Amino acid sequence: MRVAITIGDAQGVGPEVGAVAAAGAACEVVLVGDPAAWARAAELRQVSIDGIEIVDAGDELAAVQTGVAGCLDGRWDALCTMPIHKADLQARGFRHSGHTPYLAELCGRPTEDAVMVFAGGRLAVSLATVHIPLNEVPARLDAAAIGRAARGLREVLTKLGVDAPRIAVCGLNPHAGEDGTLGTEDRDVTAPAIAALAADGLDVSGPYPADTLFARAAAGDFDGVVALFHDQGLIPVKTLDFGRSVNITAGLPIMRTSVDHGTARDIAWTGRADARHAIAALRMAAALA
């Protein structure tokens, strides 16, 4: 089992938390990125990466490209990415909203095929829409998006050993729309999408009011939840599971995990960054692979 760890933003915490995770890994790892940055990070955190292969791949995007290529050609079994700095990259012409759609492009797939799933703690959650403004969500929400999120969640849960996962879908509106009195999207879009998935053999139900659904899932009523927009899913995940939950990309021919935080440049290279997230992401990559 070999997992490639990409360095992420060299001005952020990725190199140091990645080095800590690599040094204590139970699986074989390969570090991808600037060897000098990896060495500096290991020295800062007082961990040894001696004997770990380092692939010099240039900047953070080149490291991701190298990591994906290595997974596609079978050199590595999974990819674990440290965070990239989206604003800086977009200022340099990067046209994606983050890692997830870029990974799909590198795999030769439509960007919408990549599904963002969070798992590892009390909740397992996938997102039907991701990095878009809230006022665009209703127009972008359709049966295809809900279907991809449900299937991606099932893929991850099945790999984690859950047979026939029970998946619940959030409503978009308060009280899941109250039969159209608080918004028609749940009646006209979400409910038919769920019915179609159930007819296709998935154990999926809803839409349920989001304000109570996550408590039910945490209590064991469901194995996973499809959230319809970014913060609907990630506020409960990061409230309950921050440090344990892992960002997983489903729907692609490679297995990829990542930390559930950003570059944290304000504390980078001070030795204060919490490496639990990187350790959890690496363990999850090995488990899924």
Domain boundaries defined on the chain:
1-113+255-289, 115-251
CA 1/CA 9 separation, integer angstroms: 26
pLDDT tens-place string over residues 37-82:
999 999 999 999 999 999 999 888 999 999 999 999 999 999 999 9
Is the CB of residue 61 less than 8 Å from the CB of residue 39? no
pLDDT tens-place string over residues 62-72:
999 999 999 99
Structure tokens at 200: 């296709």
- Residues with Cβ within 8 Å of residue 183, at least 6 apart in sequence: 172, 173, 174, 177
- pTM for the complete prediction? 0.94
Is the CB of residue 153 less than 8 Å from the CB of residue 250? yes
Is it true that 1-113+255-289 and 115-251 share their CATH fold?
yes
Q: How far is CA 171 from the centre of its chain?
A: 21
Identity of the amino acid at 130: V
Class of domain 115-251: alpha beta
Class of domain 1-113+255-289: alpha beta
Longest CA span, the chain: 63
